[in-house]
Structure 1
């Protein structure tokens, strides 16, 4: 049951991360918005008539820090997607095929994905000093958006990073000492495993 919940959480967070990656609303003005992979423009007062473009390769991305951020965020999304598929297959696999005494798929993959996502989100605002952003945002600089406001895409990416960083915490088995025995509480099972203490 718990593995199914973790699989659902993993899939949900993968979808939220994908939505934030393709969003062009990381920073925006009244006529222009841009994200990590896309940017859009529209006439003043007519935001329904948008014209959007995608950075088709790393060479098209206007700043080195922005490129590093894109690589980190796409890498973390791929790790999340792999982990979500693995969690799903772990949840639906027959009990005899996968040992239920372990904590399931390696929580380290989730931790690496969370770390890469956080680093990518911290590096991205360095790109606000690029000529591309300065032309749009006027007086923007590193970690300062100028006339551009923070958009929902970047906020969604931050929320996703926070939630992804919490996943490994609930995935690790917890241990405690009770009267000379180690008790392992595994989140993937409903059993308690008693391990006798070895003489020192």
Structure 2
């Protein structure tokens, strides 16, 4: 049961991370918005009529810091997705196959994914000094968005990073020691002998 809850949380975080990565609303003005991988523009006062584009490769991304941020954010998402799939398969595995069911197969993997995401989030605002961002945001600079305002995509990515960094901590605190016993069956006396398991 606990493993299924952690697996569901891991899958939810992976979906939130994917949503924030494909969102074009990291920084936006009244007629333009851009994110790590996508950007959109629309006529003044008609935001429903959007025209969007995608940075299809690293060569298309306009700034080196932007490229570093995209690579670390995608790397963090891939680690998070791998961890969620691994956790789901581990939670659904038979109990005898995976005896330690409380803490997860690799809590360090989710911590690494969270660190990669945080690094990507800290590096991305450096790209506000790029010509692309300066044209979109008018007088933007490093960690200063100019005429752009913070969009929901960046806020969602921050929310995801906070949750992804807290979950491994909660999981490590949840681990408790349980005394195990080995049960030996004796066919001669038809009785059960309980033997405490020796620590290795």
- TM-score of the alignment, normalized to the shorter chain, above 0.5: yes
Query: Aligned Cα RMSD in Å?
Result: 1.9
Q: Which residue of 2 aligns with 1:129?
A: 129
Please report how far the alpha carbon of residue 105 of structure 1 lies from its aligned counterpart in structure 2 after TM superposition. 1.1
The question of 1:70 aligning with 2:61 is answered no
CA contact (8 A) 1:114 1:165 kept: yes
Please report how far the alpha carbon of residue 99 of structure 1 lies from its aligned counterpart in structure 2 after TM superposition. 1.6
Please report how far the alpha carbon of residue 101 of structure 1 lies from its aligned counterpart in structure 2 after TM superposition. 6.0
Question: Residue 59 of structure 1 aligns to a residue in which SS?
Answer: coil
CA contact (8 A) 2:129 2:140 kept: yes
Query: Structure 1 pair 102/153, CA: closer, same or farther in 2 (3 Å)?
Result: closer
Deviations 1:21-54 (A, max 9, x none): 0000000000000000000001111111100000
The question of 1:32 aligning with 2:23 is answered no
Please report how far the alpha carbon of residue 66 of structure 1 lies from its aligned counterpart in structure 2 after TM superposition. 0.5
Q: Which residue of 2 aligns with 1:111?
A: 111
Provide runs of 4+ in structure 1 moved above 4 Å. Answer: 194-197
Moved more, 89-98 or 143-152: 89-98
Give, in whole Å, the separation in 2 of the partners of 1:111 and 1:41. 36
Q: Which residue of 2 aligns with 1:144?
A: 144
Please report how far the alpha carbon of residue 104 of structure 1 lies from its aligned counterpart in structure 2 after TM superposition. 2.5
Deviations 1:121-163 (A, max 9, x none): 0000000000001011111000000000000000000000000
Give, in whole Å, the separation in 2 of the partners of 1:93 and 1:47. 47
Please report how far the alpha carbon of residue 102 of structure 1 lies from its aligned counterpart in structure 2 after TM superposition. 6.5
Deviations 1:148-189 (A, max 9, x none): 000000000000000000111122256xxxxxxxxx616xxx
CA contact (8 A) 1:185 1:193 kept: no
Structure 2: unaligned runs, 5 residues or longer: 181-196
Give, in whole Å, the separation in 1 of the partners of 2:132 and 2:67. 13
Q: Which residue of 2 aligns with 1:47?
A: 47
Give, in whole Å, the separation in 1 of the partners of 2:45 and 2:89. 48
Q: Which residue of 2 aligns with 1:86?
A: 86
TM-score normalised by length of structure 1 = 0.87
Give, in whole Å, the separation in 2 of the partners of 1:102 and 1:5. 11
TM-score normalised by length of structure 2 = 0.87
